[in-house]
Amino acid sequence: MGELRKDYFTDRLVIVTNGITKYPVFKIEETQKECPYCPGNEAMTLPAELVLVQREGALIKLADTEEEIVKDWCVRVFPEKLPVVSNDAATVYGEEPLYREPAYGYHYVVVATPKHDESFSKMNLDQWVNTLSAIQDRARWLYSQKNVSYVSIFADHEKEAGAFVEHPHFQIVTLPRLPPIIEQEASKVQKSMSELGTCPMCNVIRMELGGPRQILVTDNFIAFSPWAPSYAFEYWIFPKKHQTSILKITQKEIKDLALILRSTLGGMANALNEPPYSMIFHISSEKKTTRQLHWHIEIYPQHKKLSGFEIGTNTYINQFSPEHSAELLGSASRKELAKLLGIS
């Protein structure tokens, strides 16, 4: 399988798969039968290790067996057929400046709904709760495995954002070390906690609550446009109280997270005509307990290709101020929230 390489001088990581991982792009325009994530096509994927089924008003956890594939599911979780990491990666190591290590890990797919054409922005709240519960369950299990330092959770909407199968789904990929961006965030939080006794993101949240960049607020979460967004109409969702991981949230908080995700994604879809986007969870490692951060979700609409200046300098050009973005997304998200809660 592939290997994990580090840049000569910086901490930038690259997974080199040596051409092994070649994602098929499934075209679904003609017929849903070609989609491996649709009901009836379960045999096109590896057996599901977690299947959520609604029966007589209760949510039941099941799994596929050699004898039987679970039908009538609402969420399905299975290993990716062509993973970018593997738990049997070759044990090849290299020292600086040609540092490399095995790309050891697990790669799972979480199919968020049996309905092929139901985008994240249209999924009902119960379906969102089920999906987030499945993600929490799988992430918790993955952190109990050896050689897992970080669990990356993300979703891409539409091909322009990197989706290889156009059916609403999340991916979960583990890494044997912390990604640099998480290491960086955690170091800043740790430094602030040690020197000042406060989480810097808690301070930011207090500042953004009710401010010009706030998009939407619920009992437990706030969505806002960050002060210096890399992408136009980028926004973040944070728990209002200090929490380190989605693994720590209660079922009540999962319902509230489902509400703010569905409202803001629905608002963005209405305001920006359903743009392609990536949704990325930043969570603390359960293994690196000295590297804790204030967990959150970042949503990046993919309106444009990056320019040479942006790629070369890692300095982004944004044509829309976060205040303008928050005003537009906030208005659309509040309308979506009112609809979901039945408020005229």
The pLDDT of residue 25 is 42
Q: pLDDT band at 275, cuts 50/70/90? A: very high
User: DSSP string spanning 105-159?
Assistant: --EEEEE--S-TT--TTT--HHHHHHHHHHHHHHHHHHHTSTT--EEEEEEEESG
> Who wins on pLDDT, 289 or 237?
237
309-327 tens-digit pLDDT: 988 988 989 989 999 999 9
Domains of the chain: 3-340 (3.30.428.10)
pTM exceeds cut of 0.95: no
Q: Which two tokens stand for residue 112?
A: 């968020």
Of the candidates 288, 280, 281, 257, which has an alpha carbon nearest to the alpha carbon of residue 189?
Answer: 288
Of the candidates 55, 56, 87, which has an alpha carbon nearest to the alpha carbon of residue 70?
Answer: 55
Q: Mean of the pLDDT values across residues 111-139?
A: 97
> Which amino acid belongs to residue 299?
I
> Who wins on pLDDT, 30 or 92?
92
Of the candidates 112, 284, 278, 268, which has an alpha carbon nearest to the alpha carbon of residue 193?
Answer: 284
Is the alpha carbon torsion for 184, 185, 190, 192 positive or negative?
Answer: positive
Q: pLDDT band at 21, cuts 50/70/90? A: low
Taken as a whole, the chain contains a residue count of 344
Kindly tell me if the per-residue pLDDT of 20 is higher than 80: no
The pLDDT of residue 188 is 94
Q: Mean of the pLDDT values across residues 289-309?
A: 91
Q: pLDDT band at 19, cuts 50/70/90? A: low
Kindly tell me if the per-residue pLDDT of 344 is higher than 90: no
Q: Mean of the pLDDT values across residues 227-248?
A: 96
**43 C-beta neighbours (distance < 10 Å), count:** 10
